[in-house]
């Protein structure tokens, strides 16, 4: 896909999403980002998009509410004049022991990581058909991509991410005839949580064959590679520094 002049929507435009947005803007893409509460961060990302010479748009949306998924897509398409790319990054990542899980704990990642990805894709597909094709990039997780859980306390998250990979494959088949390619990225140790201690940081580095955290730019590179390709669909690419090999 020639990215120049295209328009993208990124759900969950914080931290890594903001870096992806700026990378897209530098390739000539207008970018809308959704945010739930972090308006200041979203506005800062929009400013960086503008500094790269493209239009940026911040869309407030609680994607756990089904109706907001479609309306966020519509707002992005209206604000940017078209929609060619959807990047489903919004996620709920919470550790909780199995014995303490509530129905709400189960529902949170299912509604945001999985259902919102489906609903946003369903709303975005007509805009992409109108443009003659498009790209959808979902987000899984390196653990789910590896096909077995490794860490206790993440049952809903793991199941939702495994399902997001299945959704990617199913959508790729459904939308191929429309020229809409659907792939997923399964990040590994990219950006450490702010509350991670030095010992935990070093443990992750030691368990990763490349010996370090990847950094947000590695996800942006992977997103761009999938957007550039005209013949990859239904694939989930791990970006984990070889962590799945250890």
Establish if 195 belongs to a structural domain: yes
186-223: per-residue pLDDT in tens? 999 999 888 788 898 999 999 999 999 999 999 999 99
Reported in sequence order, the residue ranges of 26-146 that DSSP labels E, i.e. its strands, are 30-35, 56-60, 85-88, 134-139
Cα-flanking dihedrals φ and ψ of residue 56, to 5°? Answer: -125, 155
Query: CA 66, CA 166: separation in Å to the nearest integer?
Result: 20
Residue positions counted in the chain = 246
For 57, the 3-state DSSP assignment is strand
This prediction's pTM: 0.96
98-128: per-residue pLDDT in tens? 999 999 999 999 999 999 999 999 999 999 9
Establish if 147 belongs to a structural domain: yes
CA 194 remoteness from chain centre: 20
Residue 224's closest CA among 69, 31, 70?
31
Establish if 191 belongs to a structural domain: yes
* pLDDT at residue number 13: 77
Residue 120 belongs to domain spanning: 7-245
Q: Which residues are catalytic?
A: 157
If one counts the domains in the chain, the total is 1
Rg, the chain, Cα only: 17
Q: For residue 227, what is the domain's CATH number? A: 3.40.50.720
Cα-flanking dihedrals φ and ψ of residue 151, to 5°? Answer: -125, 130
């Amino acid at each position: 896909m020639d990215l120049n002049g295209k328009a993208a929507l990124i759900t969950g435009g914080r931290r890594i999403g903001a870096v992806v947005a700026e990378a897209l803007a530098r390739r000539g893409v207008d970018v809308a980002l959704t945010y739930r509460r972090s308006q200041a961060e979203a506005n800062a990302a929009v400013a960086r998009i503008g500094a790269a010479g493209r239009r940026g748009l911040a869309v407030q949306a609680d994607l756990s509410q089904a109706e907001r998924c479609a309306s966020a897509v519509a707002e992005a398409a209206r604000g940017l004049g078209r929609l060619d790319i959807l990047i489903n990054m919004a996620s709920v990542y919470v550790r909780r022991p199995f014995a303490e899980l509530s129905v709400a704990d189960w529902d949170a990642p299912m509604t945001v990581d999985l259902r919102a990805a489906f609903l946003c894709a369903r709303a975005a597909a007509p805009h992409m058909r109108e443009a003659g094709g498009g790209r959808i990039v979902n987000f899984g997780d390196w653990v789910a991509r590896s096909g077995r859980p490794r860490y206790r306390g993440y049952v809903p998250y793991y199941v939702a991410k495994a399902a997001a990979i299945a959704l990617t494959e199913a959508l790729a088949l459904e939308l191929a005839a429309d020229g809409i390619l659907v792939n997923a990225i399964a990040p590994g140790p990219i950006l450490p949580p702010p509350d991670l201690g030095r010992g935990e940081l070093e443990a992750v580095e030691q368990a990763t064959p490349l010996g370090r955290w990847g950094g947000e730019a590695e996800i942006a590179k992977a997103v761009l590679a999938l957007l550039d390709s005209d013949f990859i669909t239904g694939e989930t690419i791990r970006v984990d520094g070889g962590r799945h090999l250890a």
